[in-house]
A = this chain, B = another copy of it.
Amino acid sequence: MAKNSTLKDIANQLGVSKTLVSFVLNGKSKEKRISKEMANKVLDLAAKLNYKPNYLAKGLRTGKSMTLALIIADISNPFFAKFARHLEIEASKYDYKLIFANSDEQKDKFASELNFLKNGQVDGFILTPPIGSESELKALKKEKIPFVVLDRYFEKVKTNTVLIDNFQAGFDATQRMIDNGRSRIAIINTNKELHTMSQRVSGYKSALAFSGSESKPELIRHLPFNQDKSSIMEVINSIIDCKADGLIFTTSKLAILGIECLRELDIKIPEQISVLSFDEMDAYRLCYTPISAVVQPIEEMSKEALRILIQMIDQTTSTDKLENVMIDVDFIFRESCP
């Protein structure tokens, strides 16, 4: 690794002090009333030497590493990959770098990744913690480490959180099917221990109740975290036996696999069963099937999350004003079938 030029190099070659160079290079020429010619000399030499500040040194001194960490379930899940994408764009706007790690939705892995990164190398965290991470979040709060929770909600610990109103989304989705004349609407869910997920089902139930019909247990199905196609096939067969005419998938992965199943069974969408999916339009685009969807505005959520996080970091020393903000970003309803 070639040695980079340092502040000292510039200072020495110019016969001035490191302080002066530091001021100029940090844009404090005005503030510190440094002569224009001096400033220019410094700037020129810095450019010529291809000077790059050493962020380790800077960070060590200032206590800010200009690095954020993102701990998500799995970066290869397109939903999270899109978050990563937009978070990186936003972070770079603030001159922050982004480290990421995968928790695989496992509490222990999440905790160890988090712990590994809690060492002054990271100024703040963006997290989608797995079920049961309350104690980790509480620890972070106690340690006053800035973090924001994305697309997750923990009833027992107040945090800054960015998500859509999943209850409302579930309600609207169901209402829409009711409005379109569907009366036996099924819902297939997964990760029901996740608050956001259970809220979607609550919204569904509420919409049904609101319209006078009551929800039928045999049409409400929960699958474990790692669904394979055969388990979905089983559930779908069972809801078909129950004469479902509408079907809501609470995740796009469920939808993609589920639509494959419907195809294999020669069920027509939306004629025989009207289908709606949460999260993505991927299910629609990739399966080339006319369904509607509740879409999370990933870009906007990322922006909000980063805005809050940066604010928290900047406030760390001052008043702790920004506590426990819950940002409900509006979800988007995409229609593609009646």
Contacts and interface: CB of A to CB of B under 8 A. Distances in A.
Contacts of A102: 85, 88-89
Nearest to A65: B56
A251 B56 CA distance: 40
A65 B117 CA distance: 13
B63 A60 contact: no
A2 B56 CA distance: 19
Interface stretch (A137-145, A197-205, A326-334): A137-145
Contact of A119 (B54, B75, B119, B142): B54
Nearest to A82: B76
A262 to B, nearest CB: 11
A120 interface: yes
Contact of A143 (B1, B78, B92): B1
Number of copies: 2
Contacts of A82: 76
Quick one: which of A63, A97, A146 has the most chain B CB within 10 A?
Answer: A97
Contact of A92 (B74, B101, B115, B260): B101
Contact of A56 (B120, B143, B144): B120
Given A1-B63, A98-B100, A256-B286, A85 B78 contact: no
A81 interface: yes
A195 B89 CA distance: 28
A14 to B, nearest CB: 21
Contacts of A84: 75-76, 81, 84, 100
A121 B97 contact: yes
Interface in A84-105: 84-85, 88-89, 92, 97-102
B59 A56 contact: yes
A316 interface: yes
Contacts of A146: 1
Nearest to A260: B288
Quick one: which of A52, A56, A59 has the most chain B CB within 10 A?
Answer: A56
A5 to B, nearest CB: 11
A336 interface: no
A316 B1 CA distance: 7
Contacts of A98: 99-101
A118 B50 CA distance: 11
A55 interface: yes
B263 A120 contact: no
6 contacts: A56-B60, A67-B121, A76-B81, A88-B100, A88-B101, A263-B288
Interface of A: 1-2, 4, 52-57, 59-60, 63, 65, 67, 74-78, 81-82, 84-85, 88-89, 92, 97-102, 113, 115-121, 123, 142-146, 256, 260, 263, 282, 286-288, 316
Given A1-B145, A78-B81, 15 more contacts: A1-B144, A1-B316, A2-B145, A4-B120, A54-B120, A56-B120, A60-B60, A67-B99, A76-B82, A81-B81, A84-B84, A88-B100, A88-B101, A88-B102, A97-B121
